[in-house]
């Protein structure tokens, strides 16, 4: 049985209270680790270690030296690729075929892309006239913001944690990370890689536990934390923002979504089906950028629904390491109950269940896992719960539309604004739709193509701020102007 301790000041330490909790695999519900739960003492020790590290060797490294170490972290993850793969799939149940191509490679790449960014980014300077005619020179300097609190989610645990830790460290900050209680393994393992890569003690710290009245709350309330970055549910984001207000700490949020896909009759049909199957069912629908609402131009509607049904029914649940597996479980029994609650509500509210709508009955040890069937609905009203609320499961509602204007109205009829996908062969319409959809990211004839230099984040209740490329500088650095009289 693995024992997962906190990683503070370069060493693994247990909780003074001795409190622990079970980490269970969603594949078969067996316990895979005993995890220490942090109290205020452990959180305080982690924040103090991060503060001290800023004034230590880490704070004195040149950009080139920091870049070199971040490359070593990325190489360290890749050198232990199979360990990270096994740990991530143990914790999440996701298929190896998915984590091998997305989670682990991106978990490493996030360090390199931000190391490259800080190596090449410039700041600004202005010369100005002065009354005495001698003039003055202005130039901007970027400085690390300090100790960053990172609260990372359970759906892509390594990828979404290093999406924050990568730029934070690249900009010279130190971090205290609280991974989800559902998926602590890869965040804990990264501590070993940090030590091996020569990242000084105290730069990367990890504390484990839950949200309210536990590690998450203690971290966001800690006065020694200078800024907080969080990916997860909008409701939790609101609570974190209230905590951040004390001491006026900055926040960077990627929150919930109810992302639309808009499919026009002139689209590349096979591409639209393949892309929508991925955006609706990949990672068992547990992707913040995923699609839960599909709008299809009426002439294509019946054909599209039939093809989507066929694709959904081809998905095969199973063990993560089984090469035949193309569908994993949901992350926990609690989340499974939530998703099945929406499955029931859809029927109560009059949905036609095109496919799915129930648990997967699995054999042997898998019978105890968090399995649900991929589900497609039609026929719900626009104000139905499954059309309005984020479910975060392998399900989507498909609705016909008759005009571009109607499609835009329907797609934008949501309190969220994270991502959208548009499938059309009409170039002008593609760009018009991209301009009018309320989303931080719009994919045209594609989904989840990611250039890490681009701005990433949501509008409305999907988040605050943008991360990615130079956009991460806004959150992870303080910018100062220096004015020199010549």
Can you give the binding site for ligand 6UN, defined by CB under 6 A? 155-156, 160, 163, 287-289, 450, 456
474 included as an active-site residue: no
The least CB distance from residue 307 to ligand 6UN, in Å, is 25
Distance CA 53, CA 231 (A): 25
Distance CA 474, CA 343 (A): 41
Residue of 42, 181, 254, 390 marked active site: 254
Query: Of 289 and 307, which has the nearer Cβ to ligand 6UN?
Result: 289
Query: Of 74 and 288, which has the nearer Cβ to ligand 6UN?
Result: 288
The least CB distance from residue 456 to ligand 6UN, in Å, is 6
The least CB distance from residue 289 to ligand 6UN, in Å, is 5
Contact 202, 53 (CB under 8 A): yes
Query: Of 110 and 325, which has the nearer Cβ to ligand 6UN?
Result: 110
Give the largest Cα separation in the chain, rounded. Answer: 86
The three-state secondary structure class of 478 is: strand
The least CB distance from residue 231 to ligand 6UN, in Å, is 7
Helix residue spans in 377-458 (DSSP H):
385-388, 404-412, 427-436
Q: What is the DSSP string of 388-406?
A: HS---SSEEEEEEESSHHH
Query: Of 93 and 357, which has the nearer Cβ to ligand 6UN?
Result: 93
The least CB distance from residue 218 to ligand 6UN, in Å, is 25
For tokens 């009829």, name the residue: 413
Looking at residue 346, the DSSP 8-state letter turns out to be H
From residue 323, alpha-carbon distances to 36, 95, 101, 278, 351 in Å are 33, 8, 13, 18, 34
Contact 245, 394 (CB under 8 A): no
Give the CB-nearest residue to ligand 6UN: 288
Query: Of 154 and 301, which has the nearer Cβ to ligand 6UN?
Result: 154
Show which residues are catalytic: 254
């Amino acid at each position: 049985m693995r024992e997962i301790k906190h990683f503070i000041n370069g060493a693994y330490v247990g909780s003074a209270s001795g409190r622990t909790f079970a980490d269970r695999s969603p594949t078969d519900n067996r316990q895979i680790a005993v995890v220490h739960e942090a109290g205020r003492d452990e959180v305080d020790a982690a924040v103090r270690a991060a503060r001290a590290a800023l004034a230590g060797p880490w704070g004195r490294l040149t950009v080139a030296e920091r870049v070199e170490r971040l490359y070593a972290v990325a190489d360290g993850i890749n050198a232990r690729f199979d360990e990270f793969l096994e740990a991530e799939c143990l914790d999440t149940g996701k298929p190896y075929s998915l984590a091998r191509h997305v989670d682990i490679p991106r978990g490493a790449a996030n360090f390199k892309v931000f190391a490259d960014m800080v190596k090449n980014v410039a700041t600004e300077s202005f010369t100005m006239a002065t009354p005495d005619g001698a003039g003055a020179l202005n130039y901007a300097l970027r400085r690390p913001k300090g100790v960053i609190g990172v609260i990372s989610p359970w759906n892509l645990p390594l990828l979404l944690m290093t999406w924050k830790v990568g730029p934070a460290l690249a900009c010279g900050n130190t971090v205290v990370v609280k991974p989800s209680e559902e998926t602590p393994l890869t965040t804990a393992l990264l501590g070993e890689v940090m030590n091996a890569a020569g990242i000084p003690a105290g730069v990367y710290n990890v504390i484990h536990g839950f949200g309210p009245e536990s590690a998450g709350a203690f971290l966001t309330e800690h006065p020694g934390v200078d800024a907080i970055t969080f990916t997860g549910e909008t409701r939790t984001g609101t609570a974190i923002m209230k905590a951040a207000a004390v001491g006026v700490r900055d926040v960077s949020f990627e929150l919930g979504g109810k992302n639309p896909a808009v499919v026009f009759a002139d689209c590349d049909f096979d591409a639209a089906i393949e892309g929508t199957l991925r955006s609706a069912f990949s990672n068992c629908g547990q992707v913040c950028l995923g699609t839960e609402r599909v709008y299809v131009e009426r002439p294509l509607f019946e054909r599209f629904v039939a093809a989507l049904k066929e694709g959904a029914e081809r998905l095969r649940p199973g063990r993560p390491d089984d090469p035949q597996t193309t569908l994993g479980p949901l992350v926990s029994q609690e989340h499974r109950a939530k998703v099945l609650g929406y499955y029931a509500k859809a029927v109560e509210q009059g949905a036609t269940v095109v496919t799915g709508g129930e648990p997967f009955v699995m054999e042997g040890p898998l019978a105890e896992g968090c399995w649900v069937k991929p589900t497609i609905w039609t026929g719900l009203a626009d104000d139905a719960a499954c059309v309005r609320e984020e479910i975060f499961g392998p399900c989507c509602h498909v609705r016909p539309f008759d005009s571009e204007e109607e499609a835009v109205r329907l797609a934008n009829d949501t309190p969220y604004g994270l991502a959208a996908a548009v499938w059309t062969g009409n170039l002008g319409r593609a760009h018009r739709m991209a301009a009018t959809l309320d989303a931080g990211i719009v994919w045209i004839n594609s989904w989840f193509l990611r250039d890490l230099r681009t701005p990433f984040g949501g509008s409305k209740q999907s988040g605050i701020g943008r991360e990615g490329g130079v956009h991460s500088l806004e959150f992870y650095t303080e910018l100062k102007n220096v004015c020199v009289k010549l």
